[in-house]
Chain A
Amino acid sequence: MGLSKNRLRNYITGFIIIAVLVVNILPWLWMFLAAFKTRVDLLSTNPIWVFRPTLENFPAAFIDHEFLKYLTNSVMISAGAVILALAVGIPAAYGFSRYRVMGQKHIFFGILTTRMAPPIVLALPLYILFAKMAILGTHIAVILAHSTFTLSFVIWMMKGFFDDLPLAVEAAALTDGYSQFQVFRKISLPLVKPGIVATALFSFIFSWNEFLFALVLAGESARTLPAAFPGLVTPHGTYWGQVSAAGAVVSIPVLILVFILQKHLVRGLTLGAVTG
């Protein structure tokens, strides 16, 4: 009796997990398959699962509709936003972790408050500011805009990793006559390397996926992949094959990174939701 009840529970558990996976993967798979369908197969009124795949959608999107350029922009902007945020964010995180700074709580609260507002709140004033600085429509503009969330993400994430380090080693190095900067560079930084990698990859994903700032600030010349999608959804119809091809290309790198980031997924996504 007890055994069969337990077995029933296991069946229910298994059913839920499989159902969730099907629901989560199938809609994405539908788009992924659409990327390899001809227009006729794609617009078929009977769902087609088996078909003769075509690659025609990829050159149509990436060459004819210049998605290759947008892809390059996306890579450059995400990389730029990550490098900028790491360069200024890691030392700040170290500072916050090692010192009791006057007003630290208020600074943290201030950083977070601006992050908790919808991005449109910053998009408008950033647009005006960048117009005045004459950098609207450049990569720099989008990188600076993305640094608003990558920076606070890096500071929070890295502060956690620095907090976890044992202080004894650093104290010993200071006794040996290392300067505080040498301690940071030669001891703390190498120890948090895995943390830096995880932080960088998460920041990359958040910048890579970002839509509104890119839509408003990038113009044509610095447009990223996500911001280019509305251009394929036209009043005369949507280029679904091309949309799907580009959608597949946008999501694949992220899906690969998830496997690498598994260990940090809860923390990364939680902080990402709070700081993004």
Chain B
Amino acid sequence: MAEEKIDISRDPKMGLFQKMKRTPWMWMLPALILLVVVDIIPFIIAINYSFRNYNFSDPANKGLWIGLDNYRAALNDGYLFDSLLVTAKYLFPAVMLQLLLGLIIAMALSRGSKGHKYVIPFLVLPTIIAPVVVGLIGILNLNTEFGLIGINLLKLGLVTRAPLGDPSLALLTVILVDTWQWTPFIALILLAGLLSFPRAPYEAAQMDGASAWQTFRLITLPLLKPYLVIAILIRAIDAFKIFDIIYIMTKGGPGRTTEALSVYAYRITFRFWNLGYGAAVVLLIFLISMIASMVFFNVITRQKKVSTELV
């Protein structure tokens, strides 16, 4: 969002807007009230709960003030650490794989003339449908008794049972389903970049007899870099939130092999009803994502031109 575009106060012609400057808050007041109700108050509640021992499944815990005990417990919670590890083991390969595939698809689409207009609605199908349905499609297709993919994997001898029920394959399967869901999104961002590039450098490269690989490495890649950075960041922040497809496909199992952070936090809060401890855990998760979003903002302001185009 380019702020330079409309800086009324500096434009003499727009002096008339000066008198409106007095009341900008009027425009935002309703939104701010809603934000206070659905964001600020819940946040205060969470902080309050995180210092108490609320546990709905244990009547003895009635919300006594216990100071930092919940946070201390969280930092010593091996399960929490494991779920952070599962999240990392899913996030990095998934985002990298999606970036690589997305780049190949975007390159292919940018070569096809105007045809991509008809392709894109079908391309983005996995991204746009409900994540819960993505998960269901995953189970239905990967089932080794009647699933389209599962039957064939079994025939080829690649699996011996449903991959989602196999502790050594479950996380990989989650990564692949997630890749099915999100690769089109990356492809779409990169395609927007590829289609916006000037033709001149490419024509010059062709005249100089540059090979396809040289053209890609020396022209396309540097031009594409800001788009790649933004795609990685947006995707990584979103991948950190993963819950829906895991909850539907494995509920964190088998064992706890696919129990990502959100899935573990859900188990503490809405399965064991340990709300005090759960509040401390979600606030720690919030802290991690806040650090991530600060990095995001720093980078996005540096890539201003592209972020203006996309966002």
Residues in A lying within 8 Å of B, measured CB to CB: 9-10, 12-14, 16-17, 20-21, 23-28, 30-31, 34, 42-47, 84, 87-89, 91-92, 94-101, 109, 111-114, 116-129, 144-145, 147-148, 151, 155-156, 159-160, 163, 167-168, 170-171, 174-175, 180, 205, 208-209, 211-212, 216, 226, 229-230, 233, 238, 240, 243-244, 247, 250-251, 254-255, 258-259, 262, 265-267, 269-271, 273-274, 276
Contacts and interface: CB of A to CB of B under 8 A. Distances in A.
A258 B121 contact: yes
18 contacts: A16-B108, A17-B119, A43-B146, A89-B31, A91-B31, A92-B30, A95-B27, A99-B20, A109-B297, A119-B262, A121-B285, A123-B269, A124-B275, A125-B41, A209-B130, A216-B270, A243-B136, A247-B137
A112 B132 CA distance: 24
A17 B109 contact: yes
Contact of A126 (B26, B42, B137): B42
Given A120-B282, A247-B137, A128 B311 contact: no
Contacts of A120: 243, 262, 265-266, 269, 282, 285
B219 interface: no
Interface string B249-292: 00000000000011001100110000100110011011001101
Contact of B241 (A44, A118, A170): A118
A269 B270 contact: no
Given A17-B112, A24-B184, 10 more contacts: A25-B125, A26-B148, A45-B151, A116-B290, A120-B243, A120-B282, A151-B35, A258-B121, A273-B185, A273-B235
Contact of A160 (B1, B21, B122): B1
Given A28-B137, A34-B140, A211 B28 contact: no
B76 interface: no
A117 B2 contact: no
A151 B34 contact: yes
Interface of B: 1-2, 5-9, 11, 13-14, 16-17, 20-21, 23-28, 30-35, 37-39, 41-43, 45-46, 49, 104-105, 108-109, 111-112, 115, 117, 119-133, 136-141, 145-149, 151, 180, 184-185, 188-189, 192, 212, 234-235, 237-238, 240-244, 247-248, 261-262, 265-266, 269-270, 275, 278-279, 282-283, 285-286, 289-290, 292-293, 296-297, 310-311
A138 to B, nearest CB: 15
8 closest pairs, A vs B, by CB? A95-B27, A125-B42, A92-B31, A99-B24, A209-B130, A88-B30, A118-B241, A16-B108
Contacts of A168: 13
B168 to A, nearest CB: 23
Given A117-B289, A159-B1, A94 B128 contact: no
Contacts of A265: 120, 124, 188
| From B33, B42, B45, B286, residue with most partner A Cβ within 10 Å | B42
Contact of B310 (A123, A171, A267): A267
Contacts of A175: 16
A27 B275 contact: no
A142 B240 CA distance: 23
B41 to A, nearest CB: 6
A116 B296 contact: yes
B37 A144 contact: yes
B296 A262 contact: no
Contacts of B266: 120, 123, 212
A116 B151 contact: no
A230 to B, nearest CB: 7
B151 A47 contact: yes
Contacts of A273: 185, 234-235, 237-238
Nearest to A247: B133
A109 B35 CA distance: 13
Given A16-B108, A120-B243, A42 B117 contact: no
A224 to B, nearest CB: 10
Contacts of A226: 130, 132-133
B141 A30 contact: yes
A42 B240 CA distance: 35
A26 B152 CA distance: 14
A217 B184 CA distance: 31
B114 to A, nearest CB: 13
Contact of B137 (A30, A84, A111): A30
Contact of A117 (B21, B115, B234, B285): B285
Contact of A24 (B35, B126, B244, B275): B126
B293 A121 contact: no
Contacts of A148: 38-39
A96 B262 contact: no
Interface centre among B117, B133, B180 (most CB of A within 10 A): B133
Nearest to A43: B146
A270 B189 contact: yes
Contacts of B45: 125, 128-129
A251 B127 CA distance: 11
B234 A27 contact: no
